[in-house]
Structure 1
């Protein structure tokens, strides 16, 4: 059996965070279910560096990377590709916070899978990597965020048969001047793993009329208003979607929002005229869509003063940060160690 020698190539992959703003249908009558809505976030991401090695390794604090590498070795048949059995060393340069509703698991899996594929010159797609690593079973928003960025709607997963990752059926650019103000509660985590799966199984039937209303809300209000950069109409549509989905999940997460502190902050923002308010995925991270950088900074400073200053009256501190939407997907850089200036990515 021919084996190639390990190269000195390194691959860097950056995978952006995403907001998951809700599902459209939980029923079993239309052939497909779920159907996700979400937004790619700029400035908040996972970035890893991958190199061939004599054994699989990853940085301390990232135990889930090693199982991913083992799956990829089997699925890609990497043991035939070099004398070290296709082993990879992963260095995590930064990462999306885990279990706070920003897609950390999917983005880490996509980053690792795409880095390994590029490291061994394998032609594959993010959707293929996601399927190999068992990501994107319910929602294609995270994969779409990695592929192309922007504001995304996926077409749900097939009820019968395996349709793979839910397809992105709409992608619109998010206005460059709009901002997303995120509300972090570092004392809490959203449902994940087995608890998340159990929660989905225990949810009551979702009324068909409610699903129809949410589909109309997204197709006839949210998407056209986003295309027209009408933040009042877009924000109202997203808030209505969030209220419906939050109330449906309330029995699983303890209320419309997973964190009472974030819920209080979101109500505070709403009282100051903000729109496009909700929780990403299972939370606890909340979001507010804001019409400009100036307005976002005013709200940011006021919120920090109220929650983390004397005005908070003993409230548990929250973190607030302002981001832009991201209208491009993840990025991959390859570095070949064959020249003195190899630090420049190609």
Structure 2
């Protein structure tokens, strides 16, 4: 069996103040590329992980992928009370800890393959609960499930009393309060500069503790912008309106904190892409991936190449995916 998952952009968290009794909430977009392709076969022994193109994958990514696959597989096997083992082959990867949500896609893909092989009909939110994903943002889980442009409603504070990243939160995936098809003719250019990632793991936990709660005025400003500008722009296919909303959210609330903690080059590249004509440019999650939503990629890609000339990195031309992960049975 083979599964192919999309990637996702995390545009912003909505409410890290909590004055109404809920925290988190997120806005995100599912992408066609980069994609993760994972193949699985049963075996009689252990959980093994192979890579089709191991030599071209950084060692850190290999160990991260192996760890996530084995952890998720064991959790699903324990849940279903299964014995035996599985051989996993990773046919396509995308960078981990780059702001594209590889951890969630990998964990869900692994568990989905095992549950399908055992003929179990388990919903994607239930799978997320079993493997421990979606504790802060529901965007990755919903991207795997349905794709498209997604807004989630966060967590009640009695379930999640603390401000924490997904990696440190045991809360279940939040409810999806809006999911729209994203205009297919809008293009997305991803720019992933080769910079040492500033924030992940324990450092990420400390940032949530240090900067939250965010002032309620900023949460209100962001909510107004999402409800009365960004969401209608998606439905009305208003690229300029959507772009203005993306640009504005970079300077509000927790996204402002995420941007301020980056190396200056990240902000410089974002400005270069706007100057090259991209209507909307933002940073996904804690970065370093930058995205530019546009309808003319040529100038944007050219500006991105110039920006990466001295530091290195990758550029991916993609678009939204309005559907979730795809499973194929091999006979």
Shift of 1:320: 2.1
- State the distance in 2 between where 1:218 and 1:304 align: 31
Which residue of the partner structure matches residue 339 of structure 1?
none
Counterpart CA distance in 2 for 1:127 and 1:258 is 32
Does the CA-based 8 Å contact 1:50-1:119 persist in structure 2?
no
SS in structure 2 at match of 1:99: coil
Distance 1:190 1:107, change over 3 A: farther
**1:281 and 2:294 are equivalent in the alignment:** no
For residue 166 of structure 2, what is the aligned residue in structure 1? none
1:56 aligns with 2:47: yes
1:68 maps to which of 50, 69, 72:
72
Query: What SS is found at the alignment partner of 1:63?
Result: helix
Shift of 1:229: 0.8
User: 1:247 and 1:133, CA in 2 relative to 1: closer, same or farther beyond 3 A?
Assistant: closer
Q: Distance in 1 between matches of 2:124 and 2:66?
A: 22
Q: For residues 289 and 16 of structure 1, do their structure 2 counterparts lie closer, same or farther at Cα, with a shift above 3 Å needed?
A: same
Match of 2:165 in 1: none
Query: Residue 277 and residue 178 in structure 1: after superposition, are their counterparts in 2 closer, same or farther (change >3 A)?
Result: same
Aligned to 2:300: 299
Is 1:184–1:262's contact at 8 Å kept on the other side of the alignment? no
Give the unaligned 5+ runs of structure 1: 1-10, 79-84, 309-314, 336-341
User: Quick one: distance in 2 between partners of 1:289 and 1:77?
Assistant: 45
Partner of 2:210: 202
Regions of 4+ moved over 6 Å: none
Normalised by the size of structure 2, how large is the TM-score? Answer: 0.88
Mapped partners of 1:299, 1:186: distance in 2: 18
2:226 is matched with which residue? 218
Whichever of the two has the greater Rg, that structure is 1
Q: Distance in 2 between matches of 1:182 and 1:48?
A: 23
**Aligned counterpart for 1:22 among listed residues 12, 16, 19:** 12
2:201 aligned residue: 193
Q: Is the 8 A contact 1:257 1:283 kept in 2?
A: no
How is 1:1-346 mapped onto 2 (pairs within 5 angstroms)?
Answer: 11-54=1-44, 55-59=46-50, 61=62, 62-64=65-67, 65-78=69-82, 85-161=83-159, 164-189=172-197, 191-245=199-253, 248-250=256-258, 255-256=259-260, 258-290=262-294, 292=295, 295-305=296-306, 307-308=308-309, 315-335=310-330, 342=331
Shift, 1:205, TM fit: 2.3
Q: What does the per-residue CA deviation read over 1:39-88, in whole Å, with 9 as the maximum and x for residues that have no partner?
A: 0011211110111112211126232122222222211211xxxxxx2311
Alpha-carbon separation, structure 1, partners of 2:198 and 2:92 = 21
Taking structure 1 as reference, are residues 307 and 68 closer, same or farther at Cα in structure 2, changes over 3 Å only?
closer
Q: Distance in 2 between matches of 1:284 and 1:190?
A: 8
In structure 2, the gaps of 5 or more residues are 52-61, 161-170
**For each residue in 1:95-125, what CA deviation from the matched residue of structure 2 results, as whole angstroms up to 9, or x when unmatched?**
2210000001000001001011001111101
After superposition, the Cα gap between the structure-2 partners of 1:17 and 1:143, relative to the gap in structure 1 and judged at 3 Å, is same
Distance 2:219 2:125 in 1: 26
More displaced 10-residue stretch of structure 1: 98-107 or 206-215: 206-215
1:40 and 1:257 mapped to 2: Cα distance?
Answer: 25
Output the CA distance in 1 between the equivalents of 2:102 and 2:118.
24
